[in-house]
Amino acid sequence: MVFLKAIWRFIMGVKDVLVLCFLLLFFGGLYAALSFSSGERPVKAHQGALLVDLNGFVVEQPQQADPVSALLGSEAPVRQYRLRDIVVALEAARTDPNVKAIVLNLNGFMGGGQVAITRIGKALDALRAAKKPVLAYATAYEDDGYQLAAHAGEIWLNPLGGVALTGPGGSQLYYKGLLDKLGVTAHIFRVGTYKSAVEPLMRSDQSPEAKAAAQALADHLWQNWKADVGRARPKAKIEGYSANPLSVIEAAKGDLPNAALTAGLVDKLGDDRAFADRVAGIAGEGKDGDGLSFAAIDLHDYVRAKRPANDGQIGVLTVAGDIVDGEAGPGTAAGDSITDQLDTAMKKQNLKALVVRVDSPGGSVLASERIRSAILAAKASGIPVVTSMGNVAASGGYWVSTASDRILAEPSTITGSIGVFGVLPSFEGLLAKLGVSADGVKTTPLSGEPNITGGIGSDFSRITQLGIENIYSRFLGLVAKARKMSPEKVDGIAQGRVWDGGTARQIGLIDGYGGLEEAIAEAAKLAKLDPKTARPYYIEPTVDPFTQFIEDWMQKRSARQAGSRAGDLLARQAASQEALLRRALHDASLLTRGGSVQLSCLECATYVPAAPKAGEGTERSGPLMHMLALFIGHN
């Protein structure tokens, strides 16, 4: 009888949860239909400060929210802000009389890469030139946050915070000793002296070649960072503060905020209340119930009101995130998905040119080639193609770029990594330690291969290595044809080495400097259109109304939880290192998981902060899970 009651309670609980889900879907769909059936909702104009509250990462293409994870999770995922949206808002604010100031709240800012931050900085500089006040605030500043804040007219720092300028670089995990102890053999197939992505599985330290290449890249990126900050804030003593931080802090007797103030890195010390009072003096007092003491204009609403119509003649195809086989949502460069998007746009839109915006460290060879082939098919219709590189366009990201007529990048773009690798683990050593062995029969040299239990055979290993070398030769051929070089010359600058954009231009891997806007203008010129009147048409997947509703809801949750990601300097640096550790473990699992041959620049993650995948951060049980527990446990 007790068992039957438990079954009945479970059935009733499932029924109630299904009803709740149906209601959420119904009201979400109703809300979305009302909100989006007649276009974007109008935003009521009011005066105040445009609040750029960056509580997360700036990315090229935000990942789409997973409605199920959002509903089941109690913690909002780390928010992602589209670079293009921020630029649109800042450029509109420059001539908008309702915008009295721009406020950068960088308390929860987690990074965006030098290229993206430089572009935002350019928009902020234009605002300051138009006499619009730009103010920045944070409890603690790190490299990305400070580079952004340097473009503000006033930089505020919490009296209990600090500024840490660490520069690019850091440690990487190496797993060779662990694999040896476990008895796991990593069979590595690669081409490229500098293809250091697989070194963590074959060495206990960094090879001299990889270290030299990494040091050169880090030095160039650091020089570019200092140059950008120096132009924006010439009075700041960046060199002395970053080159010998210990002596600076000792001279300040451990008072980090005053050390930053003395060095000219910040203008004011004050908590968030003092900062808000300062903004209120410029933009006006906030209304009761807004939660802010100054009149603020929400960034999300402002972008929605100012975003131009997507009806241009220059197609812009975004290849962002890891390049993977099959289908995936925004923020991941899935071969099938991107191909379908481009094919559909070519059929439905009268495009005169194509810009491929690449912000990817690469990935699958098959998916990279599928995307490249789709771009070539569009090019065969008679339209010019220009590649615009973002923070990173390396390995598979560069493979995709070879389909274009011209390649533009920024000095701090990370590119190159022209090399190929594949990894297969085998466990004969581990099994032997457990007293397990493997044996069997063969009809051909490849029977049962790859044999991960008894050891991968020499014939299979040699065939795989030859295949990797063949793909590398193909890679060299693609680059040689696209860049009008000999394969031998390409091989001399390839070998898996990663280059900064400035060096890449010198060695001929790119044609010139420029961001997305310059690439659109270049594509217009090639199509014999007036660059001043040419407009982009962004080729991106459409978001269904319900998912859009969930994303709007999650953004509000993220805003409410913003304070949880703010912290002092030690807390922020610890969080940064934790993120790097998660990334390292993710890369290690990727290397040992097997699968497709890779054109991937895993070391690029050291220099560009990677936003967590959609759904990460929502693992804690949320409202529906709590409801389910209540229903099941209800008597």
pLDDT at 337: 96
Cα–Cα distance, 175 to 307 (Å, whole number): 47
Q: Is 102:54 a contact under the CB 8 Å cutoff? A: no
| Residue 593 within any structural domain of the chain | yes
pLDDT at 600: 85
Task: Say if residue 158 is in the same domain as residue 289.
Answer: yes
pLDDT at 38: 39
Task: Say if residue 112 is in the same domain as residue 22.
Answer: no
Question: pTM (2 decimals)?
Answer: 0.86
254 Cβ contact list (under 8 Å, min separation 6): none
On the 0-12 / 13-18 / 19+ scale of CB atoms within 10 A, 103 is: buried
| Residue 16 within any structural domain of the chain | yes
Task: Say if residue 224 is in the same domain as residue 161.
Answer: yes
Is 195 catalytic? The answer is yes
Q: Which of these is catalytic: 100, 132, 195, 352?
A: 195
Task: Say if residue 162 is in the same domain as residue 224.
Answer: yes
pLDDT classification of 497: cutoffs 50, 70, 90: very high
Task: Say if residue 116 is in the same domain as residue 228.
Answer: yes
Cα–Cα distance, 199 to 236 (Å, whole number): 39
Q: In this structure, which amino acid lies at residue 479?
A: V
Compute the half-sphere exposure of residue 458: CA atoms within 13 Å on the CB side of its CA. 0
| Residue 482 within any structural domain of the chain | no
| Residue 234 within any structural domain of the chain | yes
pLDDT at 580: 62
Q: Is 104:148 a contact under the CB 8 Å cutoff? A: yes
pLDDT classification of 624: cutoffs 50, 70, 90: very low
220 Cβ contact list (under 8 Å, min separation 6): 411, 500, 502, 503
3-state secondary structure of 577: helix
Cα–Cα distance, 195 to 506 (Å, whole number): 21
Cα–Cα distance, 111 to 124 (Å, whole number): 17
Task: Say if residue 111 is in the same domain as residue 251.
Answer: yes
Average pLDDT, the chain: 85
Q: Is 615:551 a contact under the CB 8 Å cutoff? A: no
Residue 617 predicted with pLDDT over 70: no
Instruction: State both tokens at 138.
Output: 């944070």
| Residue 629 within any structural domain of the chain | no
Percent of the chain whose predicted confidence (pLDDT) is above 70: 78
How many structural domains comprise the chain? 2
Say if strands 536-539 and 154-163 run parallel, antiparallel, or are unpaired: unpaired
Task: Say if residue 136 is in the same domain as residue 14.
Answer: no
* Closest CA relative to residue 526, chosen from 545, 542, 511, 547: 511
pLDDT classification of 309: cutoffs 50, 70, 90: very high
Q: In this structure, which amino acid lies at residue 592?
A: T
- The dihedral through the CA atoms of 129, 134, 140, 145 has a sign that is negative
The alpha helices in 294-403, defined as continuous H runs, are 299-306, 335-348, 365-380, 396-401
Q: Is 163:245 a contact under the CB 8 Å cutoff? A: no
pLDDT at 591: 54
Instruction: State both tokens at 289.
Output: 């119930």
Task: Say if residue 34 is in the same domain as residue 118.
Answer: no
Task: Say if residue 64 is in the same domain as residue 157.
Answer: yes
What burial letters (b/e) apply to 544-567, b meaning 16+ CB within 10 Å?
Answer: ebbbbbbbebbbebbbeebeebbb
| Residue 375 within any structural domain of the chain | no
Is 437 catalytic? The answer is no
Residue 596 predicted with pLDDT over 90: no
Range of the domain at 16: 2-38
pLDDT at 564: 45
Cα–Cα distance, 539 to 316 (Å, whole number): 6
Distances (CA, A) of 372 to 336, 343, 406, 417, 484: 12, 12, 14, 17, 18
Cα–Cα distance, 48 to 439 (Å, whole number): 75
Task: Say if residue 106 is in the same domain as residue 236.
Answer: yes
Looking up residue 93, the CATH number of its domain turns out to be 3.90.226.10
| Residue 356 within any structural domain of the chain | no
| Residue 297 within any structural domain of the chain | yes
Token pair 């990797």 in the structure block, residue: 468
pLDDT digits (tens, 9 = 90+) for 454-490: 999 999 999 999 999 999 999 999 999 999 999 999 9
Q: Is 99:68 a contact under the CB 8 Å cutoff? A: no
Q: In this structure, which amino acid lies at residue 122?
A: K
Instruction: State both tokens at 298.
Output: 């929400």
Cα–Cα distance, 328 to 337 (Å, whole number): 6
Q: Which of these is catalytic: 395, 401, 426, 600?
A: 395
* Closest CA relative to residue 96, chosen from 135, 53, 127: 127
CB atoms within 10 A of CB 434: 9
Over range 412-434, report the average pLDDT. Answer: 91
Instruction: State both tokens at 553.
Output: 């809801």
Task: Say if residue 6 is in the same domain as residue 88.
Answer: no
Element (H, E) at 175: none
pLDDT digits (tens, 9 = 90+) for 7-55: 667 677 666 666 666 656 665 555 555 454 434 444 555 799 999 999 8
* Closest CA relative to residue 355, chosen from 378, 339, 332: 378
Q: In this structure, which amino acid lies at residue 495?
A: Q
Task: Say if residue 31 is in the same domain as residue 107.
Answer: no
